[in-house]
C-alpha cells in the first residue's frame, strides 16, 4: 500500500496548508544507550512519581528525556509509559490526545460565543470536531473509550 510513514504524516497535518516538517527526532537505535544509568525499577518509580504530580504521559516522556537523560522508556522497561500508568491505575479515563482536542474545541467555542462573525474560526472548529470524531471512532474500535461515548458538536448552533 505504499509508504506508511508518508500516510501518517499526511494525517497528522491533514487540515494545515504547511509542510509540517518540524518535529523532534526519535533515537535511531532501539537499544538502551550507554549513558543511561537508571535501572528499570528506578525508571518505573520516576514515571509513577511524575504521574502522581499531575503530568500527562507525553509530559512525563519529555521530562524523562530532558531532566533524567532517558531518551526512550520502552527499551529500558519493555513497555511504554501508558502501560506503566495503566498497571498502576494512574491512566486517565480518556486518551490524552482526545482530551487535548476537546479542550481546544471548548476554548474555540468560548471564543466564538464572543466573536460571532469570526467565520474563519467557525471553519477551524468544524475541522477540529472532525478530528475529534475520527479519533474517537478509532478509540472506540480498539476499546480505549466506551462504545456509547459521544462528542456533542456545536457547529450547527454557530453557523
What residues does each domain of the chain span?
Answer: 35-91, 96-158
Asked if 90 and 57 touch (Cβ cutoff 8 Å), the reply is no
The CATH architecture one would assign to domain 96-158 is Orthogonal Bundle (1.10)
Whole-angstrom distance, CA of residue 82 vs CA of residue 57: 6
Q: What are the distances in angstroms from CA 76 to CA 30, 130, 138?
A: 10, 37, 29
| Number of Cβ atoms within 10 Å of the Cβ of 150 | 10
Q: What is the pLDDT, as a whole number, of residue 24?
A: 73
What would the pLDDT profile of 46-69 be if each residue is shown by its tens digit? 999 999 999 999 999 999 999 999
Residue 10 in this model has a pLDDT that exceeds 80: no
Cα torsion 39, 41, 44, 46: sign? negative
Q: Which residue would you say has higher pLDDT here, 62 or 22?
A: 62
Residue 11 in this model has a pLDDT that exceeds 70: no
Mean pLDDT of 144-159: 73
| SS3 assignment, position 16 | coil
Q: What is the pLDDT, as a whole number, of residue 156?
A: 44
Asked if 121 and 108 touch (Cβ cutoff 8 Å), the reply is yes
Whole-angstrom distance, CA of residue 66 vs CA of residue 64: 6
First vs last C-alpha separation in the chain: 39
Mean pLDDT of 105-115: 92
Q: What angle do CA 73, 76, 80 make, to 5 degrees?
A: 40
What would the pLDDT profile of 28-48 be if each residue is shown by its tens digit? 888 888 888 999 999 999 999
The alpha-helical segments, DSSP class H, found in the chain are 4-12, 40-52, 57-68, 74-77, 81-87, 96-114, 119-142, 155-158
Asked if 19 and 10 touch (Cβ cutoff 8 Å), the reply is no
Amino acid at each position: 500500500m505504499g509508504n506508511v510513514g508518508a500516510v501518517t504524516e499526511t494525517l497528522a497535518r491533514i487540515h494545515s496548508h504547511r509542510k509540517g516538517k518540524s518535529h523532534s527526532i526519535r533515537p535511531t537505535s532501539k537499544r538502551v544507550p550507554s549513558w543511561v544509568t537508571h535501572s528499570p525499577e528506578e525508571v518505573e518509580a520516576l514515571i509513577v512519581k511524575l504521574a502522581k504530580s499531575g503530568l500527562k504521559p507525553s509530559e512525563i516522556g519529555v521530562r524523562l528525556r530532558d531532566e533524567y537523560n532517558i531518551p526512550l522508556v520502552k527499551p529500558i522497561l519493555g513497555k511504554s509509559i501508558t502501560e506503566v500508568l495503566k498497571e498502576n491505575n494512574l491512566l486517565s479515563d480518556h486518551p490524552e490526545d482526545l482530551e487535548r482536542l476537546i479542550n481546544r474545541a471548548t476554548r474555540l467555542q468560548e471564543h466564538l460565543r464572543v466573536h460571532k462573525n469570526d467565520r474563519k474560526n467557525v471553519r477551524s472548529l468544524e475541522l477540529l470536531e472532525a478530528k475529534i470524531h475520527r479519533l474517537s471512532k478509532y478509540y472506540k474500535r480498539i476499546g480505549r473509550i466506551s462504545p456509547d461515548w459521544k462528542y456533542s458538536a456545536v457547529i450547527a448552533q454557530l453557523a
